[in-house]
């Protein structure tokens, strides 16, 4: 893996660039939302369109959400530090949840208010043609800012910016509803204007719920989809030396993915070979998904899903050496080495001895029979040189 010290400057530069792009597009959208909100609210009051007034309030809610986006992006695009080693992307998730909750509250209040108006439309005045002009301007401008903002959000991999783009798209869609309802109301169906206001309010609630719920799922560490998980599992199993992947856990932080994976390898390989296999798995997984932030792999000699994990009470190296010395016919040479295999709750021992021509080779079978009195003993194999 690359040295994090060499990654830090480039990572900070990338975060600064993303923060700049997010700020620029959000400020542009905020100015546009403020202008459109004023036009629609004033136009709705002057030319008797309740739907246009609600649409204008929707535009002003965009301004409020833009302020939230600016604050959250400034915090969430900070580089990782000692207290936040994985970065600050969860602040963005929290901001998206706040934005979604705000939309739900605004939409629900507007829907209730206009539902009461729908029950009593007597005395309501017909909207006038300038309402159509204001709605048409809103449709064109909000569709433009939606496409622009969404493109930037996808480029910098920001759910919050994409969510804000969709907030703009709902404003464009609500203006389409205003166009249609105003045309119908001008033909004498004045109730269409109020009904359109309710439809727009419900649309705001729906978008807000989607943002808030997706953010909640991320905050409680909901994993990747079964399809994506299986893709990662197959990528790991394709690496030579991997016998099985018996545990794969995932969670998201903003657009980034965090993974924990347990790899089953041959029990007789060295620690360094097991680590090298794990590094190849990391490379294979990153080739499948380019937004993986961190992969923590654990190398297993056996599949814990098929049997109980090896007990932590099994003897360690020094205890095993003491047990062997009790049953060894001669003193163990100081240059003797052990290789221990902890499998199926037993210890299998490989002993490497260097003997000169005068020394007699110990009988490994006889020593093994004596060692069988230990419940943890599995087998003994002695190598001579």
pTM above 0.75, yes or no: no
CATH 3.30.70.1350 range(s) for the chain read 226-300
Whether domain 4-219 has CATH 3.90.79.10: the reply is no
Residue 343, pLDDT score: 86
Give average pLDDT by consecutive 10-residue segment, the chain, 385 residues.
44 65 82 87 81 78 76 68 69 78 81 72 65 83 86 78 77 75 72 74 82 79 84 92 89 81 88 91 90 87 72 87 84 80 87 75 85 90 83
Q: What is the DSSP letter of 369?
A: H
Torsion angle (degrees, nearest 10) of CA 154, 160, 166, 172: -110
What are the angstrom distances between the C-alpha of 3 and each of 6, 9, 275, 280, 283?
Answer: 6, 12, 17, 17, 15
Residue 5, pLDDT score: 39
Residue 263, pLDDT score: 92
Looking at CATH, the fold of the domain delimited by 226-300 is given as Alpha-Beta Plaits (3.30.70)
Residue 238, pLDDT score: 93
Q: From CA 363, how far away is CA 360, in angstroms rounded?
A: 9
Q: From CA 280, how far away is CA 191, in angstroms rounded?
A: 65
Residue 12, pLDDT score: 58
Q: Which CATH architecture best describes the domain 317-384?
A: 2-Layer Sandwich (3.30)
Q: From CA 243, how far away is CA 245, in angstroms rounded?
A: 7
Residue 204, pLDDT score: 78
Cβ-Cβ contacts under 8 Å for 187 (sequence gap 6 or more): none
Q: Which is nearest to 40 in space by CA: 227, 169, 162, 172?
A: 172
Torsion angle (degrees, nearest 10) of CA 144, 150, 155, 156: 120
Contacts 24+ apart (CB under 8 A), 143-152: 143/169, 143/172, 145/28, 145/29, 145/32, 146/172, 148/25, 148/28, 149/25, 149/26, 149/29, 152/21, 152/22, 152/25
């Amino acid at each position: 893996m690359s040295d994090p010290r060499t990654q830090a400057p480039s990572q900070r530069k990338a975060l600064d660039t993303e923060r700049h792009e997010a700020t620029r597009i959000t400020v542009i959208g905020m100015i546009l939302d403020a202008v459109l909100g004023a036009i629609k609210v004033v136009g709705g009051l002057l030319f008797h369109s309740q739907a246009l007034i609600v649409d204008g309030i929707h535009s002003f809610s965009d301004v409020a959400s833009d302020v939230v986006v600016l604050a959250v992006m400034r915090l969430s695009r900070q580089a990782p530090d000692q207290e936040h080693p994985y970065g600050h992307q969860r602040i963005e998730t929290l901001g998206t949840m706040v934005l979604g909750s705000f939309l739900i509250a605004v939409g629900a209040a507007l829907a209730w208010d206009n539902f009461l108006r729908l029950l009593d439309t007597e005395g309501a005045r017909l909207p006038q043609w300038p309402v159509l002009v204001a709605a048409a301007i809103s449709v064109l401008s909000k569709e433009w800012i939606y496409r622009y903002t969404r493109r930037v959000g996808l480029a910098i991999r920001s759910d919050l910016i994409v969510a804000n783009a969709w907030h703009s798209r709902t404003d464009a869609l609500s203006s389409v509803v205003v166009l249609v309802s105003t045309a119908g109301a001008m033909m004498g169906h004045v109730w269409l204007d109020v009904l359109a206001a309710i439809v727009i309010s419900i649309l705001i609630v729906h978008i807000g719920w989607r943002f808030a719920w997706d953010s909640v799922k991320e905050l409680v560490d909901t994993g990747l989809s079964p399809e994506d998980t299986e893709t990662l599992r197959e990528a790991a199993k394709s690496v030579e030396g991997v016998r099985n992947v018996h545990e794969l856990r995932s969670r998201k932080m903003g657009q980034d993915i965090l993974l924990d994976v347990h790899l089953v390898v041959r029990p007789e390989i060295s620690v360094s070979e097991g680590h090298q296999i794990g590094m190849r798995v990391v490379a294979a997984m990153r080739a499948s998904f380019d937004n993986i932030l961190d992969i923590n792999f654990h190398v297993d000699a056996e599949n814990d899903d098929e049997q109980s994990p090896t007990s932590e009470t099994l003897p360690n190296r020094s205890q095993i050496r003491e047990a062997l010395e009790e049953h060894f016919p001669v003193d163990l040479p100081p240059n003797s080495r052990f290789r221990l295999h902890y499998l199926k709750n037993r210890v299998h021992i490989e002993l490497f001895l260097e003997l000169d021509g005068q020394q007699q080779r110990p009988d490994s079978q006889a020593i093994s029979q004596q060692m069988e009195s230990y419940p943890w003993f599995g087998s003994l194999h002695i190598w001579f040189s």
